[in-house]
A = this chain, B = another copy of it.
Amino acid sequence: MTVPAPAHRRRRKLSRELVLAAALRLADDEGIDALSMRRLGQAMGVEAMSLYKHVAGKEDILDGIADLVMDEVPVPARDLPWRVALHRSAVGTHEALLRHPWAASVLESRRNPGPARVTCLDAVVSILLAAGFSTPDVARAFTAVDAHVYGFTVMELAWPFDLRDSPEEARVMADEVFADAYPGLRAMAELALTGPGVPIEFEFGLDLILDGLERLHSRG
């Protein structure tokens, strides 16, 4: 063991940004459960405790990468019609959450929305206010849309693997589990198995909500 092993050649290589970027990549590549301090340190060629010089702790890292994800959703331009703005913001958020399947559950556990989220939120709210929605209605509208985005995405991600990928297994499951006890679900299972598949569209529910808001808006 004569080798002193200067294992750490470059010192000046860590920073909050680098740590968060590495954490994001690790979560994307190996799942959110793989994101531990030791594992992250290892991925950066550094001991776990070294990360604490640049980041307050794991919570801070989660806050950070959650905001990195929200940073991916485009902020709607101020002069868009309110419906278009709301629609785009919803779709953009949905897509960002799909790109990072762990993000929805992480966001759920955060207490405060990060700056990126706040910025986007403010833009949408301003547009709705400018369009003539009352302040309470803005709150309601925004909450309804956000609930759909969040709830739909989580359900979508929890889908038990695409049934059409393994029709045999799915068939067996449908037959066994839903045999006679659950006629309604059986019909749904049949649907999932036959034909080219009917993907449940994110925009179906979204448009339901936006239609309702539109009527509210034209009435009020």
Contact = CB atoms under 8 A, between A and B. Distances in A.
By secondary structure, the A interface counts as: helix
A60 interface: no
A135 interface: yes
A143 B205 contact: yes
Interface residues of A, number: 56
Given A139-B198, A183-B126, A109 B118 contact: no
Given A118-B182, A151-B148, A209-B208, A105 B109 contact: yes
Interface stretch (A8-16, A18-26, A64-72, A152-160): A152-160
A187 to B, nearest CB: 6
Copies in the complex: 2
Nearest to A125: B184
A152 B143 contact: yes
A118 B185 contact: yes
B160 A152 contact: no
Contact of A185 (B108, B125, B181): B125
Nearest to A104: B108
B148 A205 contact: yes
A166 B214 CA distance: 35
Identify the interface centre among A122, A127, A215: most chain B CB within 10 Å of its CB. A122
B200 A143 contact: yes
Contacts of A110: 158
B185 A122 contact: yes
A181 B190 CA distance: 52
Contacts of A112: 160
Contacts of A111: 158, 160
A184 B75 CA distance: 14
Contact of A151 (B125, B154, B160): B154
A207 to B, nearest CB: 8
Given A146-B151, A147-B155, A150-B154, 17 more contacts: A105-B108, A105-B109, A108-B154, A110-B158, A121-B185, A122-B183, A138-B188, A139-B200, A140-B201, A140-B205, A143-B155, A144-B152, A150-B150, A150-B151, A208-B209, A208-B211, A209-B212
